[in-house]
């Protein structure tokens, strides 16, 4: 039996390898991104360890201890700040790829009834990811100002004299309901 990996594994390994750096600035930027991601993961790992230790010692999550709340908050802020936007970029890339597949299967489902099941699966996946909070980040550009409403034709009000009913009582003064 050969010890050589299968061609599929070779392709997968080649695809997983990062492209070589194009220069010093590119290599430093990649290193910075990896360091931020590693720092964010380390902060989240420390938070998980605090939870595990707290649950093991007292049966209560770390958030239940007032003394640990500020440390937990700091770890969460460190993880969010150290992420460097990698999660937002990942979510945007995933949403773009999913939208492209949905568009492709929508077009195909117009002529192929079997494609509708695949389309429904992709739509369900998009809905599931939305519920889990994986969403495309909001664009940085401000939304265009709302349009002013279309001008309406001026309405003319008519004044009508209201006369009380015989007996001096108006409809609003009646004790019985109006029918």
CA distance linking residue 150 with residue 46, whole number of Å: 57
Q: What is the mean pLDDT of residues 13-25?
A: 73
Query: Among positive and negative, which fits the CA dihedral 73, 77, 78, 83?
Result: positive
pLDDT digits (tens, 9 = 90+) for 150-179: 666 667 777 777 766 666 555 555 566 666
Distances (CA, A) of 78 to 43, 56, 81, 106: 7, 25, 5, 42
The alpha-helical segments, DSSP class H, found in the chain are 7-16, 24-58, 66-82, 86-109, 115-131
Structure tokens at 154: 């001026």
pLDDT of residue 42: 83
Q: Give, as one character, the DSSP assignment of residue 137.
A: P
Q: Percent of the chain scored above 90 by pLDDT?
A: 4
What does the pLDDT average to over 84-102? 74
**pLDDT average, residue stretch 116-138:** 79
What's the pLDDT tens digit per position in 59-83? Answer: 888 888 777 777 788 888 777 776 6
Give 48-63 pLDDT, tens digit per residue: 888 888 888 888 888 8
Q: Residue 133 carries which DSSP code? A: T
**What is the reported pLDDT for 111?**
92
Which region among 91-95, 96-100, 114-118, 172-176 has the lowest average model confidence (pLDDT)? 172-176
Which pLDDT belongs to residue 4?
A: 55
Lowest-pLDDT range of 48-52, 84-88, 142-146, 169-173: 169-173
The pLDDT, as a whole number, for residue 96 is 81
**Angstrom distance (rounded) from CA 37 to CA 84:** 7
Tell me if 115 sits within 8 A of 108, measured CB to CB.
yes
pLDDT of the residue at 174: 57
């Amino acid at each position: 039996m050969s010890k050589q990996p299968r061609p599929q594994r070779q392709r997968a390994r080649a695809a997983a390898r990062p492209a070589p750096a194009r220069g010093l600035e590119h290599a430093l930027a990649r290193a910075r991104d990896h360091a931020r991601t590693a720092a964010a993961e380390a902060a989240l790992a420390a938070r998980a360890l605090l939870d595990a230790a707290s649950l093991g010692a007292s049966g209560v999550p770390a958030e239940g201890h007032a003394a640990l709340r500020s440390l937990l908050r700091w770890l969460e802020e460190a993880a969010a700040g150290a992420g460097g936007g990698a999660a937002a970029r990942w979510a945007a890339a995933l949403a773009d790829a999913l939208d492209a597949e949905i568009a492709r299967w929508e077009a195909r489902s117009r002529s192929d009834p079997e494609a509708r099941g695949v389309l429904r699966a992709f739509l369900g996946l998009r809905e599931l990811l939305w519920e889990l909070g994986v969403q495309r980040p909001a664009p940085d550009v401000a939304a265009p100002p709302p349009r002013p409403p279309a001008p309406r034709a001026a309405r003319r009000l008519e004044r009508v004299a209201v006369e009380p009913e015989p007996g001096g009582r108006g409809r609003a003064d009646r004790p019985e309901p109006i029918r």
